[in-house]
Chain A
Amino acid sequence: MKAKIIILGLCIFFIAMLQSTVLDYARVYNVKPNLLLIFIVSIALLKGNVEGAIVGFFCGLTQDMIAGKVIGFYALLGLYLGLIVGSVNKRLYRENVLVITFFTFVSTVIYEFCVYFFGTVFRNPVDFISPFKNVIIPEAIYNSVISVFIYIFAIKIYDKLSEMDRLPRKY
């Protein structure tokens, strides 16, 4: 349990750091992928809603601290993203790559639209075409591609963790 917390914490830490610095050089069609979002979706699919929600919360909180305008906005979004994605996992064959690709695509569209909506609704009229064309759809496609790698990475981490857990005791 302790090892899990430490390792997940380190993962979030490094992903957030990559996301805010070097990833700017990996822009395609003027968008960069959202690794934290993919990480939340992967964990939620693998481990269900409770763990998904907790990881989502902390990923969001990290993002809030790096560049949020109010503290808690991304945390709340991440929490519900992890919770909702994690709640639908039981009837799916999780190891299939298409599942994670599909879920990442849908989550990105919903998540980014929420960010856009709450970011503009109090100031400017909400426009539907240009944000979808310029940011949401390109980012969703980019995320879906990257999600395969992060998903495999997440599976590896959990394999290692369960190995470590099995040795001393079972719970």
Chain B
Amino acid sequence: MLRLFKSKLFILVLTTLVILIVMGVSTNQNSSVNQFGNVLSVILSPGQKFLSYCGQKMEGSFTFFNDIKAVKKENEELKARLDQLEKERIELEDYKVKNKELREALNLKDQFGDYVFLGANIIAKDPGNWFDVFNIDRGSKDGISSDYPVITSKGLVGKVTTPGLLSSKVIAIIDSDSTVSARISKTRDLVLVRGDLSLKDQGLCRMDYIPPDADIAVGDTIETSGVGGIFPKGIVIGKVKKVLQDNSVMTRYAVIEPAVDFKRLEEVLVLKEKVENKSSETGNVK
């Protein structure tokens, strides 16, 4: 009996130690232990894909009948708006051509020129209530690797942390582990946008290290700065919602409302670096 107890305790201590070591090793993103997580994600991801698809469809069908009236009204408004936009589009087309010519003349590098957009669906979200990590249905099979930026047409979502074979983990900018180097669009001041646990529930994040002399007001747009090398320059993050003062220290911080609505996020775009085209591009330059 004593021996049994002893061996049980021994097993417990051994398992604890092994888990602690694995935890330590897996904090390094490139370690092969993380590949171990792949095994399950490969099995889980088709099921998750199916279930989240069903969930979205169900939500859609519940609101279907209520929506018809609203949709009719919206349709008329949209038609009017479409006419207006069509006019603007022609103008913009003209500007686009001019812009391109001028850019070429100045030899500026295109902001997203080095990237390929890869569409992805969100198939699973964090099981807990604390963090904001989600899974997308693209993995290393599609050429995704860690630190690839994830965006939507509206703005920045986050970055890939652990790519699996068929799915990858993405960490959102509102997660408390995420920090993004950012810039106030108006004044070009460098700031830091971080996730915050208490703001996360409302889908907001906070902005730190605001220079004391920076002129910042509610409604200012915040964009990525390109410093740090993960996110390309100039992706919209969000707008300033509130500017606050820390009581203890004489610094300011601000609450940011991200351009992306994290509660209703279904599809995202992954920015994948162009690798094979690079050589041909440089060839063209020569």
* A-side contacts of B125, CB under 8 Å: 20-21, 24, 67
Tell which of A21, A50, A76 touches B48, judged by Cβ atoms closer than 8 Å: A21
Residues of A within 8 Å of B, CB-based: how many? 49
Known pairs A31-B129, A63-B128; A79 contacts B44 (CB<8 A): no
Contact in complex: B23, A131 (CB < 8 Å): no
**Interface 9-mer from A88-96, A99-107, A119-127, A157-165:** A119-127
| Min CB gap B44→A, angstroms | 6
* B-side contacts of A123, CB under 8 Å: 176-177
Interface: B185 (CB within 8 A): no
* A-side contacts of B43, CB under 8 Å: 13
Interface: B217 (CB within 8 A): no
Contact in complex: B129, A135 (CB < 8 Å): yes
Tell which of B19, B47, B127, B197 touches A131, judged by Cβ atoms closer than 8 Å: B197
Which residues of B in the span 199-229 have a Cβ within 8 Å of any Cβ on A?
A: 201
Contact in complex: A17, B19 (CB < 8 Å): no
Interface: A151 (CB within 8 A): no
Contact in complex: A134, B128 (CB < 8 Å): no
Interface: B124 (CB within 8 A): yes
Known pairs A30-B201, A71-B33, A79-B15; A19 contacts B59 (CB<8 A): no
Interface of A is mostly: helix
Residues of B within 8 Å of A, CB-based: how many? 47
Interface: A147 (CB within 8 A): no
Contact in complex: B55, A22 (CB < 8 Å): yes
Contact in complex: B127, A22 (CB < 8 Å): no
Complex CA distance for A131 and B129, rounded to whole angstroms: 10
Which residues of B in the span 16-58 have a Cβ within 8 Å of any Cβ on A?
A: 16, 19-20, 22-23, 26-27, 33-34, 36-37, 39-41, 43-44, 47-48, 51-52, 54-55, 58
| Min CB gap B138→A, angstroms | 16
Complex CA distance for A25 and B19, rounded to whole angstroms: 33
Contact in complex: A76, B16 (CB < 8 Å): yes
Contact in complex: B44, A112 (CB < 8 Å): no
Complex CA distance for A143 and B227, rounded to whole angstroms: 43
Complex CA distance for A123 and B130, rounded to whole angstroms: 15
Complex CA distance for A127 and B126, rounded to whole angstroms: 22
* B-side contacts of A134, CB under 8 Å: 198, 201
Complex CA distance for A83 and B176, rounded to whole angstroms: 30
Complex CA distance for A23 and B125, rounded to whole angstroms: 9
Residue of A nearest to B37 (CB): A65
* B-side contacts of A116, CB under 8 Å: 130, 197
Interface: B239 (CB within 8 A): no
Contact in complex: A66, B15 (CB < 8 Å): no
Contact in complex: A34, B197 (CB < 8 Å): no
Complex CA distance for A24 and B15, rounded to whole angstroms: 33
Interface: B161 (CB within 8 A): yes
Interface: B8 (CB within 8 A): yes
Residue of B nearest to A33 (CB): B129
* A-side contacts of B26, CB under 8 Å: 70-72
0/1 string, A18-58, CB within 8 A of B gives 1: 11111111000011101010000000000000100100010
| Min CB gap B194→A, angstroms | 9
Q: Which of B37, B123, B161, B171 has the most CB of A within 10 A?
A: B37
Contact in complex: B40, A65 (CB < 8 Å): yes
* B-side contacts of A71, CB under 8 Å: 22-23, 26, 33-34, 36-37
Given contacts A21-B123, A31-B129, 9 further A-B contacts (CB under 8 A): A21-B52, A21-B124, A30-B201, A64-B37, A67-B135, A68-B37, A69-B177, A71-B37, A112-B128
Interface of B with A (CB < 8 Å)? Answer: 8, 12, 15-16, 19-20, 22-23, 26-27, 33-34, 36-37, 39-41, 43-44, 47-48, 51-52, 54-55, 58-59, 123-131, 133-135, 161, 169, 171, 176-177, 197-198, 201
Q: Which 3 A-B pairs have the closest CB atoms?
A: A20-B124, A72-B23, A21-B51
